[in-house]
């Protein structure tokens, strides 16, 4: 399966999070989504993600009710907290012209 996925630049991941106190591995709950914005990762209730149209799904899982995003990256400009660095999000070379 992994070899077939590689033809599409895809791989296999294990959606997960870590216990804030111990750092221990935890399975990502069905109602949570990992969000990457400004080079920072956080976890939110899927229904509480602000402006979901700003995000690009980058990982998917199957639950009893079907497919849902497990991880999303911000697709708009974001200022990185505590830094002068500015990330422009997901753009192709054509977008920069």
Asked if residue 44 lies in contact with residue 33, where contact means CB atoms within 8 angstroms, the answer is yes
Give the β-pairing of 32-37 and 40-45.
Answer: antiparallel
pLDDT at 22: 94
Distances (CA, A) of 39 to 12, 35, 85: 22, 10, 10
pLDDT at 31: 87
Q: Place 93 in a pLDDT band, splitting at 50, 70 and 90.
A: very low
Q: Place 92 in a pLDDT band, splitting at 50, 70 and 90.
A: very low
| pTM over cut 0.85 | no
**What tens digit of pLDDT does each residue of 16-58 get?**
898 889 999 998 888 888 888 777 888 888 888 877 777 888 8
pLDDT reading at 89 higher than 70: no
84: left (phi over 0), alpha (psi -120 to 50) or beta: alpha
């Amino acid at each position: 399966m992994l070899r077939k996925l590689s033809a599409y630049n895809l791989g296999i991941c294990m959606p997960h999070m870590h216990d804030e106190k111990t750092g221990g591995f935890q399975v990502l709950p069905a109602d949570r989504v990992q969000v990457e914005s400004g080079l920072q990762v956080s976890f939110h209730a899927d229904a509480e993600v602000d402006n979901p149209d700003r995000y690009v799904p980058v990982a998917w899982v199957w639950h009893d009710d079907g497919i849902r995003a497990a991880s999303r990256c911000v697709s708009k400009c974001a200022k990185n907290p505590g830094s002068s660095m500015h990330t422009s999000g997901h753009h192709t070379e054509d977008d920069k012209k």
